[in-house]
Amino acid sequence: MAQYKLRERRHENLLDDLLLARGVAPEEKEIFLNPDFERDSHDPLLLPDMGCAVERILSAKKNNEKTAVWSDYDCDGIPGGAMLAEFLRTLGMQVVHYIPHRHEEGYGLNVSGIDKLKKQNVSLIITVDLGTADHGCISHAKSENIDTIVTDHHLVPMAKQAETSIAQRDGASIANFQQEIMRARRGLVLPEALAVINPKRADSKYPFPDLCGAGVAWKLIQAILQKIRASGQPFDYAQGKEKWLLDLVGLATLSDMVPLLGENRMLAHFGLRVLRRARRPGLSALFSLLRIKPATLTEDDVGFMISPRINAASRMDSPELAARLLIARSAEEALPLAKELDKINDERKGLVAATVKEVNKRLNLAGAVGDLVVMGSPSWRPGILGLVANSLVEHRGGTVCLWGREGGEMIRGSCRSGEVNIVELMGEAGGLEEFGGHRGSGGFSVGEGQVHELSARFSAAYEKVRAQTSAAQEIFIDRELDLAEASHAQKNLERLAPFGIGFEKPLFIFPGVSIGGIRAFGKQQNHLELRLSRHSTPLGINGIAFFSGIDSFSKKIAAGDSADIVGHIERDWRGAPRLRIVDVI
């Protein structure tokens, strides 16, 4: 169970106090609160291999070569791929946007997809949000006389694939190349691509390593424009026109697991500004369908409403649908796509709920399971298992690893945890074909013959990793507030937004709050709305908790109770302040 700790107050002013708690010194305050496009953008040519990548793309343009933008299928890769493909087409290039099928092709490049592009006379592949680890596939593309430019922000998420391709390339066993394999894992051995543009490369001179995949693709666009404009040649692309592409960069930055600091904060800030203009018919149709007011769009709207629908497309076998929505040219074209995407998202929700129910049923039959759950079924769809694992962790805590079959004999799974480092867990388990991810979430693949070993491997690794991890998660509360202060605090918070990884939304505790009416809402009646009041706020304000019931908190709640509420302050759809409840204690 989480342990709450109230931060020491370092400044009486709430805004200054919140900034200090997040490492922003007083002399940095104004710069931080006022992102500047020119000041906060770093030179794209500082990224490794950027110069030769630009030359190759301009050569393809001059020679009228067919180019493929190969992007990941999530809400980083799809917007990034759509943006880069759209931009290259404005240069007059022939461009195919290729998005691999999650369940049939899996993550990254693959030989069959490269062969399809070869048949379409593609001679240049530019990746978005993938490619750093795809040694074998990039070597295959090279053998087919296809050049590859990688734009990515990952550091070898699939070490086993890199190991295998290194061994195959040199015609010797992996055992003879341990040093090279270890260097590959650290990102020091790169695939045989024409260029590998990745700010996390060990030899990168780029001052900000934490761009998302679409952010790296954006830097490529900047570099291309910089080169063309410096040449003095006639060019029908107005200075600054590229800033309209920041809606897709911002969408990806707010959706991916990257810190909202430095250049990312600027990209998210201006990305939201462009998104609020709703210039893209596809996004405008989606906003209308979801009853989002574009002018007041927030990072929460992106994270809870837009991103899940973009991601649902690939989870439910239709990644191209999301890409088509983002580049739609008219409302007539966009509206059916938005409706279909929303329908697919509803289907995804239903599939997740059914799988969660099945997992819980199996857990109940098994009796006491402990803090680690390792479970799977050949009938489970891997694309939704991360969401299922998330739901289980939210409701029961611990660590959850689930697997399903993803075409052929390959087993793919997802892990989620709020207590141990998932990447460390998977690395310690061993025996995985591929794995990667972040501290709290990750994915893996394993051959069908090894699936019976998963439970034992993960259990042993879990005990070892947990022994090195603090037993209880400590959550910091920024400040104690009276309920009456919520409205004033909200005005300060709006100056700090957007919030995200590395710049978390402030968490407050409101003591002695009276709980009035309790209402369940949502299609499945699985969300809560509470009417909260205190003597200083007799009219009260609302508090909401998604995917929660009256017994979901540290203290079971009932109408008429008095309790301390832990939560975030936000605005509801009418613009009034409300609490996003984290816990009742």
Q: Is the pLDDT of residue 225 over 90?
A: yes
Distance CA 362, CA 197 (A): 45
- Over the range 396-420, which residues count as b (16 or more CB within 10 Å of their CB) and which as e? eebbbbbbbbbeeeebbbbbbbebb
Between the two ends of the chain, the Cα-to-Cα distance in Å is 12
* Pairing relationship of beta strands 562-571 and 508-521 according to DSSP bridges: antiparallel
Distance CA 309, CA 357 (A): 22
- Indicate yes or no: pTM above 0.85: yes
pLDDT value of residue 241: 95
The residues facing 147 across adjacent strands are: 124
Cβ 108 vs Cβ 152: under 8 Å:
no
Average pLDDT of the chain is 90
pLDDT tens by residue, 442-465? 889 898 888 999 999 999 999 999
Angle CA(269)–CA(247)–CA(286) in degrees, nearest 5?
A: 115
pLDDT tens by residue, 104-144? 888 889 999 999 999 999 999 999 999 998 999 999 999 99
Instruction: Give me the domains of the chain, ranges plus CATH numbers.
Output: 3-34+476-584 (2.40.50.140), 40-246 (3.90.1640.30), 368-467 (3.10.310.30)
Q: Is the pLDDT of residue 392 over 80?
A: yes
Q: Give the pLDDT band of residue 473 (cuts 50, 70, 90).
A: low
Distance CA 449, CA 435 (A): 17
Strand locations in 13-89 (E) = 66-71
Please give the structure tokens belonging to residue 503: 């710049």
Q: Give the pLDDT band of residue 563 (cuts 50, 70, 90).
A: very high
